[in-house]
Structure 1
Amino acid sequence: MSGELTEHQMELLSRVMQHGGVLASPFGHPGEDSLLEEVLEDIDELEARGLITVDWTRGSDEPERITLTPAGYEALDIT
């Protein structure tokens, strides 16, 4: 499956995995990341594929917490 993902999507999955499978406030300061829109697109795609689950900040379209699913670990070849 990893061949189907973009390099940026794999980097995002890897970053979540490096934080124990749960990444809280992935941008440090939500809204200030110049690549926020592109990263949000990756998050949406990864969530749609079932590789991550996302808790969204209340009243905002920014993620608060990203969690790897078992399929996300498989995409990273970690079982």
Structure 2
Amino acid sequence: VAITSTVLPYVDAILVDGRCAEVLRQPPTLAEVERWGTVVLSARDLESTVRWLDALAADVTETHLATVARVYGPSTVEQFRRTFPRD
């Protein structure tokens, strides 16, 4: 939990094992998680993780993808589009 709480201010979400997720969702650690607005995703609940990733991907703008292509190369955006196809 100490290492996990160190990264909470810097990430939107954290994927942890089921036991760690349980600890992070209980007081007093829950207050720290809520303070930073970090989403706790558990390996035990992969459906929630996939839903969170799908929602995140749906909000990605073309401007953002263009920036990603410039910084990381077009293959990164191509992989993103294969992983999260849009209608």
Q: Normalising by the residue count of structure 1, what TM-score does the alignment of the two structures yield?
A: 0.30
Q: Normalising by the residue count of structure 2, what TM-score does the alignment of the two structures yield?
A: 0.29
Structure possessing the higher radius of gyration over alpha carbons: 2
Higher share in helix: 2
